[in-house]
Chains A and B, each alone.
Chain A
């Protein structure tokens, strides 16, 4: 009985601490977030989803990401984005702003920790 249990723990431990394979196409941002009902990419280049625009409210259509069956939310970065340094974050379920966990370069926007994208 102990051996299967140990194997189960070892396998669980192994998969719990082994990074999952994930590739993204060039020019795409991905957030793995199963269970979210909506995710938007808000950033310097889209007026933070409308929060920096005339209405000062989130437009739910701006930066809306599409989801795969595995809970990966994907959106392409605008192809015509001029060279520069931009801040961005993911707005999850309309109320939670989180930085890109796969991008360690961070900045702040309105007191929130957000991510930095350098377009070269």
Chain B
């Protein structure tokens, strides 16, 4: 694709025409360069040649199409290639019945209670090809069936069923079949006074379960709320623990905190406890404090205060872990609303090896353009980073 096509894509300003029809186009670019200044010469750490990624999408109530391209005009292999393309149809009048096909979709992504379960094949997203069928509407249930192939691994099948909100609960199931097999069943219920949330499943033959009981408020008034959240995390092949969180939040004041403790179940996993409190004061200081203990790592603590204002501010913090204490100092400066600079210096205290470290980062935004210059220094090595980017929505 030559430069005229680039210009055409960038300048594609088509009026929205027709009822329910929408056309959007946009483009962006990003460049990055990093260098190690202390390696006896300028050593390049990484470079993104400036690249362009125009995108175009068309959608209506019954269909949608989208394409995202990428070009690296500074490299010898310039020319656009499609990194994402998708098209879908939906039966008009039915929110559930439809089909879509995609090239380069997002990775398989299942929300779990603890963290999304998404890893598969370590393939780049732009190498995935998928096709999806969606259906439902019967009693409010809906489901989807997706097949994906990456060219490197077996085809992956990902399917799911969602129940409607049943008045007190909702359930959903996600399953995967392919190089790994997974089944995840999640349920959320809401009763007066408490809301259990359970996620159970198996991954490659190992069972896993997470559960939380939310909505218990031992203390709640016009000043603050305190929610108690008992939880259980079980994993057949990993750590297993049970515990509770006490989550504190100010009703009309900027403060929040938590007390979390966990105990190992079946002697698998360390016991631990955490206490956190954050607050923004009337004087404009953001306080963040924390105290942690675990059987594995021992004690740790954190006290940090940052005063941020316009055009300048500063911060000071102390972090302890075991018998080491580290102090962190920060300074902020923003001469105009579109430019922000931050300098950070840190060093160990009461130690033979102070291990000083520092960084200065200046970022600037002007309309759709952004730029960044960063300099970091740690362990005697200094690095420089430059970034330039921009987005244009048409």
Q: A residues near B, CB below 8 A? A: 12, 14-23, 32-38, 44, 47, 52-61, 71, 83-87, 93-96, 101-105, 107-108, 118, 120
| Residue contact A35 to B310, C-beta cutoff 8 Å | yes
A77 CB → nearest B CB, Å? 16
Tell me, yes or no, whether B131 is within 8 Å of chain A by CB.
no
Q: How many angstroms from the CA of A86 to the CA of B84 in the assembled complex?
A: 24
B29 CB → nearest A CB, Å? 9
A92 CB → nearest B CB, Å? 8
Which residues of B236-255 have CB atoms within 8 Å of chain A's CB atoms?
245, 247-255
| Residue contact A44 to B104, C-beta cutoff 8 Å | no
Q: Determine the interface band of chain B, counting residues with CB < 8 A from chain A.
A: 35 or more
4 closest pairs, A vs B, by CB? A104-B258, A54-B84, A19-B253, A15-B283
Q: Which residues of B contact A34 (CB under 8 A)?
A: 284, 308-310, 313
| Residue contact B283 to A12, C-beta cutoff 8 Å | yes
Tell me, yes or no, whether B190 is within 8 Å of chain A by CB.
yes
Tell me, yes or no, whether B377 is within 8 Å of chain A by CB.
no
Tell me, yes or no, whether B65 is within 8 Å of chain A by CB.
no
Q: B residues near A, CB below 8 A? A: 28, 30, 53, 68, 70, 83-84, 104, 106, 111-116, 125-126, 170, 188, 190, 195, 197, 214, 245, 247-258, 276, 278-288, 308-313, 332-334, 337-340, 342, 361, 363-365, 368, 370, 372, 374, 387, 389, 391, 393
B361 CB → nearest A CB, Å? 6
Contact A16 B283, CB 8 Å, known A54-B83, A55-B83, A60-B370: yes
Residue of B nearest to A54 (CB): B84
| Residue contact B281 to A18, C-beta cutoff 8 Å | yes
A88 CB → nearest B CB, Å? 13
| Residue contact B106 to A38, C-beta cutoff 8 Å | no
Contact check: which of A17, A44, A58 meets B116 at CB < 8 Å? Answer: A44
A96 CB → nearest B CB, Å? 8
B386 CB → nearest A CB, Å? 12
A81 CB → nearest B CB, Å? 11
Contact A83 B188, CB 8 Å, known A20-B282, A60-B391: yes
Q: How many angstroms from the CA of A16 to the CA of B254 in the assembled complex?
A: 13
| Residue contact B308 to A105, C-beta cutoff 8 Å | no
| Residue contact A35 to B308, C-beta cutoff 8 Å | yes
Contact A35 B332, CB 8 Å, known A19-B281, A20-B282: yes
| Residue contact B254 to A22, C-beta cutoff 8 Å | yes
Q: Which residues of B contact A19 (CB under 8 A)?
A: 250, 253-255, 279-282
| Residue contact B190 to A120, C-beta cutoff 8 Å | yes
- Given A20-B281, A37-B338, A38-B370, 6 additional A-B pairs, CB 8 A: A15-B281, A35-B310, A37-B365, A71-B308, A83-B170, A102-B254
Q: Which residues of A contact B254 (CB under 8 A)?
A: 19-22, 32, 102
B309 CB → nearest A CB, Å? 5
Q: Which residues of A contact B247 (CB under 8 A)?
A: 104-105
| Residue contact A61 to B393, C-beta cutoff 8 Å | yes
Residue of A nearest to B195 (CB): A120
23 example contacts (A-B, Cβ-Cβ < 8 A) are as follows A19-B250, A20-B282, A23-B251, A23-B252, A32-B254, A34-B308, A34-B309, A35-B313, A36-B334, A37-B334, A54-B68, A54-B126, A55-B68, A59-B28, A59-B391, A83-B188, A86-B111, A87-B116, A96-B342, A96-B361, A104-B247, A120-B188, A120-B190
